[in-house]
Structure 1
Amino acid sequence: MATGLVPRPRQEFIDAFDYFDHAEHRRDGDRPRDGAHRRNEDDVFAAGAPSKEKKSGARAAGPIVGPTVPPVPPGKTVPPSRGPERRTRTAKGGLARTLTGVAAAAVTAVLAVAVSGQVAHEQDGKGGAPRAAGGAERPHTDAATRTKSRPAPAPGTVADQAPYEVQMAQKFPMDAKLQASGDFEAVPGHDKAPGRGEVLRYRVDVEKGLGLDGMLFAEAVQKTLNDDRSWAHGGRRTFERVSSGDADFVISLASPGTTAKWCAKSGLDTTQDNVSCDSAATERVVINAYRWAQGAVTYGDDKMHAYRQMLINHEVGHRLGHNHETCPKQGALAPVMMQQTKFLTLDGATCRANAWPHPEG
């Protein structure tokens, strides 16, 4: 490292500051306080020494040499620092204050140059972002960077969910032999009965641990039952979903194992074809979660939405008192109360898949 002398301030700058530390001249009549050699704002220093001035004071037009106040007669006293005497002392300090101001400005300029040089040095060599103390790069705060740094919506959130129609057309993973917890949980919320006629209130329960979207299931039930092609046809009745309180029946989405247990309570065996049932001896209309998730061969993968509508209409139809029906003739629409999960052909006649009790609408 190169060595050399550090430049020192010019002598007049040092002399200007020394007046504050070494001047001992005080005006007549001023006395030290508490015996200490203190200066106040009315002290008079040697020619060119600085002096504080009050906000209301004024500076003389030019330098004044020596006092302009006449001698005080014997036995008389004069109040300190009034009128012309004050202005005289102020004028005397003009040169010192000027030199002090110049010195302060010089120091400020040197500091400004040093700081700007340090910031420029800490920039990346290729025009990168400035670095904070310690060398850490300051984070960018532009809008584009903030947008890129935001995490994408988590799967399953409202922002990430597909429209109702898209979800209803999809198949979901499900084990055909799944036995879930056996505990049910009501889907929260309330959907008012939209139509006229007899109001039937129902609750939607979903078995815990299924891994299926309970809100999607509840929405499908409400939309399906209140469609004019369903059991609300012609304004005969309307369906209202509740999550608590009295309900005429409960539509339950359950694993295959739990479905079998609830259907057995009404003497029904759902294990052979993994089907759903209306457990008439209980409050539950049970939809087999395997069928809800995977559909049936009779409808195929391209008619999942229609198959789910048929499941709801068929099992609620049993709750409303309708029994199984057969295919009336070749090529006809299958009655919704036909066991379409199992077959579309019966007694030599094959019907077309149909999800509605009143398909004409």
Structure 2
Amino acid sequence: MTRGSRLVPVLAWLLAVGATTGFIAPPDDGAHKVVAGRQAAVEVPPSKSPTLGFVPEQGGLWRLEIPHDAGGDVRTVRGRSDPPREAGRTVSVRVLVEVGLGIDGQEFARQVMATLNDERGWGHDGSIVFARTDGEADVDVTLASPATTDALCAPVATGGRVSCGRVGFAVLNAERWAHGAEPFLEAGGTVAEYRRYLVSHEVGHVLGQAHVRCPVPGAPAPVMLQQTLGLDGCLPNGWPALGG
């Protein structure tokens, strides 16, 4: 048997694993959601394959190459978690991902919830805490390709570059999740820190927070400053508790 012929069954097995046990399951009955303005959830089972090798430091991505248009098939990441502590209000969160991004949905969901429930997050004052659900929720957090982000955020103009938060849902641009944003990185931030900012900022909009300016050059940026576009002399920051 030649080397090439030995690779054929291996490649076929890998493709089968990716299709059936990767971060997202293929439709088993044709039921899926193609974006038409606002997504409706279809469940995504948890990832069961260690062979595909997502990297937590990459936000759960298997690869950093993000397609401009992944097709608009948006699905819920299956799973639930209780709030980690008591607070004045519990906000339920449903996490969704677009098929074709090359991300482990469970790891993405874990990072989203870890950010939201961090002691430096929106609940730092004890006012709110977040619980994850795969049913109807107060807040949907969706990771989407640039083109799908534009469709979901409309009429907000995201231009394939930025993300959005609106009443009931936040859409995170997967290009930004993978690579961060130049102004943030040039000011000394890291991509991991930018991901915390991205979640906090867009969910902040869902919670009713508006954009603000840099109050004092050299201070940590308020999380509602548009740090994707520029920091105006402030320092990169992804935590509501640290930026004033």
Q: Please indicate the TM-score interval, normalised by the length of the shorter structure.
A: 0.7 to 0.9
Instruction: Choose the corresponding residue for 2:171, options 265, 270, 286.
Output: 286
Whole-angstrom CA distance in 2 between matches of 1:216 and 1:298: 26
Aligned to 2:153, what secondary structure does the other structure show?
A: helix
Aligned to 1:199, what secondary structure does the other structure show?
A: strand
Alpha carbons of structure 1 residues 278 and 215: separation in structure 2 relative to 1, 3 Å: same
TM-score (norm 1): 0.50
For 1:224-256, what per-residue CA distance to the aligned partner results, in whole angstroms no more than 9, with x for missing partners?
000010011132111011112x31121111110
% identity of equivalent residues:
41
Deviation at 1:262, TM superposition (A): 1.3
Deviation at 1:329, TM superposition (A): 1.4
Match runs of 1:265-280 below 5 Å? 267-271=155-159, 274-280=161-167
Instruction: Choose the corresponding residue for 1:234, options 125, 128, 153.
Output: 125
**Runs of 5+ consecutive residues of structure 2 not aligned to the other structure:** 1-16, 23-48
Q: Is the 2:165–2:205 contact (alpha carbons within 8 Å) kept by the matching residues of 1? A: yes
Aligned residue type for 1:295:
G
Aligned residue type for 1:309:
R
Whole-angstrom CA distance in 1 between matches of 2:86 and 2:213: 31
Deviation at 1:159, TM superposition (A): 7.2
Instruction: Choose the corresponding residue for 1:207, options 94, 98, 101.
Output: 98
Whole-angstrom CA distance in 2 between matches of 1:168 and 1:290: 12
Whole-angstrom CA distance in 2 between matches of 1:162 and 1:205: 17
Whole-angstrom CA distance in 1 between matches of 2:185 and 2:117: 25
Greater share of strand residues, 1 or 2? Answer: 2
Whole-angstrom CA distance in 1 between matches of 2:166 and 2:84: 27
Q: Is the 1:171–1:295 contact (alpha carbons within 8 Å) kept by the matching residues of 2? A: no
Extract structure 1 runs of 4+ deviating beyond 3 A.
154-164, 166-172
For 1:16-44, what per-residue CA distance to the aligned partner results, in whole angstroms no more than 9, with x for missing partners?
xxxxxxxxxxxxxxxxxxxxxxxxxxxxx
Q: Is the 1:325–1:338 contact (alpha carbons within 8 Å) kept by the matching residues of 2? A: yes
Alpha carbons of structure 1 residues 260 and 167: separation in structure 2 relative to 1, 3 Å: closer
| Match of residue 60 from structure 1 | none
Aligned to 2:196, what secondary structure does the other structure show?
A: helix
Q: Please state if 1:358 is matched with 2:241.
A: yes
Alpha carbons of structure 1 residues 183 and 170: separation in structure 2 relative to 1, 3 Å: closer
Q: Please state if 1:216 is matched with 2:101.
A: no
| Match of residue 137 from structure 2 | 247
Q: Is the 1:253–1:288 contact (alpha carbons within 8 Å) kept by the matching residues of 2? A: yes
Q: How many residue pairs are counted as aligned between the two chains?
A: 196
Alpha carbons of structure 1 residues 212 and 171: separation in structure 2 relative to 1, 3 Å: closer
Match runs of 1:328-347 below 5 Å? 328-345=215-232
Aligned residue type for 1:351:
C
| Match of residue 158 from structure 1 | 50
Whole-angstrom CA distance in 1 between matches of 2:77 and 2:118: 21
Q: Is the 1:195–1:237 contact (alpha carbons within 8 Å) kept by the matching residues of 2? A: no
Deviation at 1:220, TM superposition (A): 0.8
Deviation at 1:286, TM superposition (A): 0.5
Give the RMSD, CA atoms, in angstroms.
2.7
Deviation at 1:163, TM superposition (A): 7.0
Alpha carbons of structure 1 residues 294 and 167: separation in structure 2 relative to 1, 3 Å: closer
